[in-house]
Amino acid sequence: MRSDITIVFDPRRSLDLSADVEPSPQSQSQARDWFDGAWETLGCEPLRPSGKVLLLDKVLGVADALGYDTLSTDEKEAREFADNLALALERPRITVDLPGLTVGY
């Protein structure tokens, strides 16, 4: 499955990534675990006052913590993020809008 991913960092900076992955129930679970681990490693904070953190919140937090500079220059990090996002959401088109705090597909 191919996924085209756009990450919007601000009105002047966005990044287009693509992933070509083979989804399976196991790979989807592993991708969700990757976001759990990255969330913890990067020290991300909950977006909601309740403290509840959903998968899409983790996607936003990890993308924000990695930032434009890392994802635009570190090919390995960008590939890992894109592949895990594609596996976790299993959608052909994904937009991560950091200023709008939304993940659309």
Q: How many CB atoms lie within 10 A of CB 87?
A: 23
Q: What is the pLDDT of residue 103?
A: 97
Q: What is the pLDDT of residue 47?
A: 81
Q: At what angle do helices 25-41 and 75-89 cross, to 10 degrees?
A: 130
Percentage of the residues of the chain whose pLDDT score is greater than 70: 100
Res 21 pLDDT > 80: yes
Q: What is the pLDDT of residue 34?
A: 98
pTM passes above 0.85: yes
Tell me which DSSP letter residue 19 carries: E
With residue 10 as reference, give the H or E element that holds it: strand 2-10
The two most distant CA atoms of the chain are separated, in Å, by 37
The dihedrals phi and psi of 51, each to the nearest 5 degrees, come to 85, -5
How far apart CA 2 and CA 46 sit, in angstroms, is: 30
Q: What is the pLDDT of residue 51?
A: 76
Q: Read off the pLDDT of each residue in 30-34 and give the average, rounded to a whole number.
A: 97
Res 49 pLDDT > 90: no
